[in-house]
Amino acid sequence: MSYPYQLKSLEEYKKAYKESIESPETFWSNIAETFVWKKKWDKVLEWNFIEPKIEWFRGAQLNITENCIDRHLATIGEEPAIIWEPNNPEERTRIVTYNRLHKRVCQVAQMLKNNGVKKGDRVCIYMGMVPELAYAVLGCARIGAIHSVIFGGFSAQSIADRLEDAQAEFIITCDGAFRGNKDIPLKSVIDDALIGNKTVKKVIVYTRTRTPVSMLKGRDLWWEDEMEHAETQVEKDGVVSFPAEPMNAEDTLFILYTSGSTGKPKGVVHTQAGYMVWANYTFVNVFQYQPGQVHFCTADIGWITGHSYIVYGPLSAGGISLMFEGIPTWPDAGRFWDIVDKHQVNILYTAPTAIRSLMGFGLEYLNGKDLSSLKVLGSVGEPINEEAWNWFHKNIGKENCPIVDTWWQTETGGVMISNLAGVTPQKPAHATLPLPGIDPVLVDENGNVIEGNSVSGNLCIRHPWPGMIRTTYGDHERCRTNYFATYPNMYFTGDGCLRDEDGNYRITGRVDDVLNVSGHRIGTAEVENAINMHSGVVESAVVGYPHDIKGQGIYAYVIYENTHGDENLTRQDIMQTVSRIIGPIAKPDKIQFVKGLPKTRSGKIMRRILRKIAEGEISNLGDTSTLLDPNVVDEIKNGSLIS
Ligand code: WT7
C-alpha cells in the first residue's frame, strides 16, 4: 500500500497545511479519492456550528471494513494484520493475517445477523484485549450495527447507565479477562449490569479465562458455538464472503462514552466516512507509518486511542497492529521492552503515566532488551512532563527516535496537534503544530481570539475536520451546549493551552471540572455522585491534585454524618463505593473529612480554594471574602492531607 498523502518534509507539511485551510474541500476530497467507495459524494462538506451540523462526504456510500480489510486481500492477504501478545508471556502469540481477519469478521457479521442484529442497532462490547474484540468491532461495522465499546475496568453500574443511554440490544463479552495476575470476571459484571435492563436481548460470551459463568437460557450464548455455525454459512468451497453493508457517509459508526463536567457520561458519536479518512490520515502522517512496520499502541480498545490507532487507523493503512492483552508491569516492569524485542516493534505509542511508572522501576528492566527496531515513539492522553520525555527519548529511543506528542480527544476522533515523526520539529512537552485541516485558536474568557505568539488561553478549533464529533447520542442539545455554545462558531476543547514564541502549542490541562487520571478522563461530578451514594455521606467535593505517576490524583472532601467510627475504615468503604459505582480508576487517592465546604452565599462550592489546598498551596488562597463562612477554610486547611 502506498500513501500518496504522506507528508515527507517540513515544506510539504507547510504546503499541505496552507491548502487545507484555504480550500479544505479540495484538500479532503483529494485524500478521500484514495479510499474504496460504493458511491462517491455529492458534497464534500456542509456545516454550521450553530446547531451544530457537520456533514462530510454527503451522499457517499461505503463500508469501513472494505477499506480496513477487503482492499488489502489481493496484495497482503497473507501478511499480518494483528499480532496478538497474550497477558502471560508463556502463552503463544497469535498472528492474524488479513485473510484470517476477513474470515473472522465475516463470521461475526453472520453471527450477529443470525441473532437478529440489524443495521443501526447498538451493540455493546465489553471484552478484554483479545483479537476477538477487534473482530467484534469490525463485525458490527460490516453489517452497519453501531458498536459501543466499554472499557473492562468499568463497573456494573457504569455499564448499566451506558446500556440504558444507548438503548443497546446486544452485548458481546468474555467470561473473564486476564490483566497481570488478575482475572477479571467480565460476564458476571455484565450479569449485574443487566438487572432491571429492558433492552438487551442477547449476550454473546467468548471464552477466555474459563472462569465459571452463569448462562441465562434464551439470552446468553457462547461465541464459539455461534461462530462455528456462522463459519459454515460464510465459507463455501474455500471462498469466504459476507456482503459489506453499504453505509451512508454520515451514518453512525460508533458511540464511545466519555466523562464531562456533569454527572452523566456522554455518548460521543462518530460517523463512517469522515472518521475513516481522519483516522487513516493522522495515522499515516503522525507516525510516518511505512508498509510492513509493526505498530504497537499500548492503549485499550475501550478508549478512543485503541479505536483509532489499534483498529481503524493501522488496518485502513494495511498496517501491522500489535495488540497486547496485559499490563506494563507484569510479570515485571520490563514487559513492554520484551514485547518490542520479541516482535521487533517499530512504533511504540504509549501514555505519560506508563512512562513515569516504568521510569520509577529503574533501568535494570532494560538490560538485555534489543530496542533497536524502534523508529518512532509516541505519547498521548495528558501533558508529558520534560523529565518523562527525556527519559523516553534517551533510554527507549536511544536518542534516535522522534517522539510525537499527540494532543487530541475522544471527540476529535484522531490526532489534532502533534509533530509529524521526523518531519516537523519536536519540542519536549509541546504538542507543537496542528495537523492539516486543523485551525486552532486561543481565546480569553470572553471569547476574544488571542493573536500572536507567547500567549495563553482556552483552546478552540475554528473549522470542522473530518473526524470530529457529530452529536452526543440521543441528546443533540447536550452536544451543542457542551462544545459549541461557550464560544460562538468554535468547537471548545475544554483545555487550556500556551502558544510559544515559535507558534508551538503546549496543552496545559483541562479548564473544566474534568480530571485526567493516568490519561483517563473522570468527571468530578461523577465521583461526587458516587461518593454521595455511600450511606453516612452528607456532601462531598472532588478536585484534582498533582500526582507523580498518574498526572492527577483524586482528592475528595467529604462531610460525613457520624465520625465516631474508625476514619480509615470509613475511607476504605467510600473508596469501595466509588469502585462499585464507577470502577477502580475513579477511586479517590485522598479523602479528607470536613465539617463544611467553602460555599458562596448563593451556595456554590468554591473549588478554586479546594484545589489550592489539595495542591498544598495553603498560604495563598486568594480572595475568600465572598464566602458564606470563611471559618470552614481554616478547618479544612488544618486537616489537609498534603504535607
Ligand atoms: C483529554 C482528552 C486522546 C486520546 C486519549 C485521551 C488530554 C490528550 C494530550 C497531550 C496534553 C493531552 C487533554 C484532552 N490530552 N492528549 N498530548 N498533551 N494533554 O482522550 O479521554 O478524550 O481525553 O486528554 O486534556 O482534552 P480523552
Each residue of 125-142: pLDDT tens digit?
999 999 999 999 999 999
| Cβ contact 288:420 at 8 Å | yes
Of 506 and 566, more confident:
506
| Cβ contact 399:366 at 8 Å | no
CA of 518 from ligand 1 middle (Å) equals 11
User: Would you say residue 13 has pLDDT above 80?
Assistant: yes
Place of cell 466499554: 150
Place of cell 450495527: 145
Task: Check residue 601 and give its pLDDT.
Answer: 86
CA 284, distance to chain mean position in Å, is 19
DSSP 504: -
CA of 639 from ligand 1 middle (Å) equals 33
Cα atoms in the Cβ-side hemisphere of radius 13 Å centred on 153: 16
Q: 234-263: buried (b, 16+ CB within 10 Å) or exposed (e) per residue?
A: bbeeeebebebbbbbbbbbbbbbbbbbeeb
For residue 200, give the amino acid letter: V
CA of 493 from ligand 1 middle (Å) equals 10
CA of 398 from ligand 1 middle (Å) equals 26
DSSP, collapsed to helix, strand or coil, labels residue 474 as coil
- Give 349's pLDDT tier (boundaries 50, 70, 90): very high
Cβ-based neighbours of 87, under 8 Å, separated by 6 or more: 178, 179, 180, 325, 326, 327, 330
Q: How far apart are the first and last CA of the chain?
A: 57
User: Would you say residue 411 has pLDDT above 80?
Assistant: yes
Q: Residues enclosing ligand 1, CB less than 6 A?
A: 258, 304-305, 380-383, 405-410, 431, 493-495, 507, 509-510, 516, 519, 521
pLDDT, tens digit, 9 for 90 and up, residues 287-329: 999 999 999 999 999 999 999 999 999 999 999 999 999 999 9
Question: All 3 cell numbers of residue 335?
Answer: 514487559
- Give 629's pLDDT tier (boundaries 50, 70, 90): confident
Pocket test for ligand 1, best of 407, 432, 492 (most atoms within 8 A of CB): 407
Q: Whose CA is nearest to atom 6 of ligand 1?
A: 381
d(CA 203, CA 189): 12
What percentage of the chain exceeds 70 in pLDDT? Answer: 99
Of 117 and 1, more confident:
117
User: Would you say residue 643 has pLDDT above 70?
Assistant: no
Least confident of 306-315, 338-347, 487-496, 559-568: 559-568
User: Would you say residue 421 has pLDDT above 60?
Assistant: yes
The greatest distance separating any two alpha carbons of the chain, rounded to the nearest whole angstrom, comes to 81
| Cβ contact 462:489 at 8 Å | yes
Backbone angles phi, psi at 582, to 5 degrees: -110, -55
Question: All 3 cell numbers of residue 445?
Answer: 474568557
User: Would you say residue 586 has pLDDT above 70?
Assistant: yes
Mean per-residue pLDDT for 78-93? 98
Q: Residue 217: is it exposed, middle or buried by C-beta count within 10 angstroms (0-12/13-18/19+)?
A: exposed
CA of 255 from ligand 1 middle (Å) equals 18
| Cβ contact 186:205 at 8 Å | no
User: Would you say residue 563 has pLDDT above 70?
Assistant: no
CA of 585 from ligand 1 middle (Å) equals 16
For residue 559, give the amino acid letter: I
Question: All 3 cell numbers of residue 299?
Answer: 492503549
Task: Check residue 118 and give its pLDDT.
Answer: 98
Q: Residue 56: is it exposed, middle or buried by C-beta count within 10 angstroms (0-12/13-18/19+)?
A: buried
Give one DSSP letter per residue of 76-98, joined into a string: HTTSEEEEEE-SSTTSPPEEEEH
Task: Check residue 566 and give its pLDDT.
Answer: 84
pLDDT, tens digit, 9 for 90 and up, residues 432-470: 999 999 999 999 999 999 999 999 999 999 999 999 999
| Cβ contact 258:268 at 8 Å | yes
Task: Check residue 494 and give its pLDDT.
Answer: 96
Q: Whose CA is nearest to atom 7 of ligand 1?
A: 382
CA of 375 from ligand 1 middle (Å) equals 23
Least confident of 345-349, 489-493, 608-612, 636-640: 636-640
d(CA 67, CA 44): 19
- Ligand 1 atom closest to 493 (CA): 26
Pocket test for ligand 1, best of 350, 507, 513 (most atoms within 8 A of CB): 507
Q: Whose CA is nearest to atom 21 of ligand 1?
A: 521
Task: Check residue 364 and give its pLDDT.
Answer: 97
Pocket test for ligand 1, best of 312, 411, 430, 516 (most atoms within 8 A of CB): 516
d(CA 557, CA 20): 48
CA of 344 from ligand 1 middle (Å) equals 28
**Percent helix / strand / coil, the chain, rounded to 5:** 35, 25, 40
Pocket test for ligand 1, best of 269, 411, 512, 521 (most atoms within 8 A of CB): 521
CA of 301 from ligand 1 middle (Å) equals 16
- The average confidence (pLDDT) of the chain is 96
Task: Check residue 625 and give its pLDDT.
Answer: 79
CA of 212 from ligand 1 middle (Å) equals 37
Mean per-residue pLDDT for 572-594? 95
User: Would you say residue 564 has pLDDT above 90?
Assistant: no
The count of other CB atoms within 10 Å of the CB of residue 118 is: 12
How would you write 534-603 as a 3-class SS string? CCCEEEEEEEEEEECCCEEEEEEEEEECCCCCCHHHHHHHHHHHHHHHCCHHHCCCEEEECCCCCEECCC
Least confident of 336-340, 588-592, 638-642: 638-642
What would you report as the CA-atom Rg of the chain, rounded to the nearest whole angstrom? 24
Q: Whose CA is nearest to atom 2 of ligand 1?
A: 409
Cα atoms in the Cβ-side hemisphere of radius 13 Å centred on 189: 31
The count of other CB atoms within 10 Å of the CB of residue 113 is: 17
How would you write 362-428 as a 3-class SS string? CHHHHCCCCCCCCCEEEEECCCCCHHHHHHHHHHHCCCCCCEEEEECCHHHCCCCECCCCCCCCCEC
d(CA 311, CA 324): 13
Pocket test for ligand 1, best of 409, 415, 550 (most atoms within 8 A of CB): 409
Specify which residues 80 forms β-bridges with.
Answer: 97
For residue 460, give the amino acid letter: C
Q: Whose CA is nearest to atom 8 of ligand 1?
A: 381
| Cβ contact 196:177 at 8 Å | no
Cα atoms in the Cβ-side hemisphere of radius 13 Å centred on 317: 35
CA 359, distance to chain mean position in Å, is 23
d(CA 594, CA 338): 47
Task: Check residue 627 and give its pLDDT.
Answer: 83
d(CA 308, CA 254): 12
Closest-CA residue to 204 (of 135, 142, 269):
135
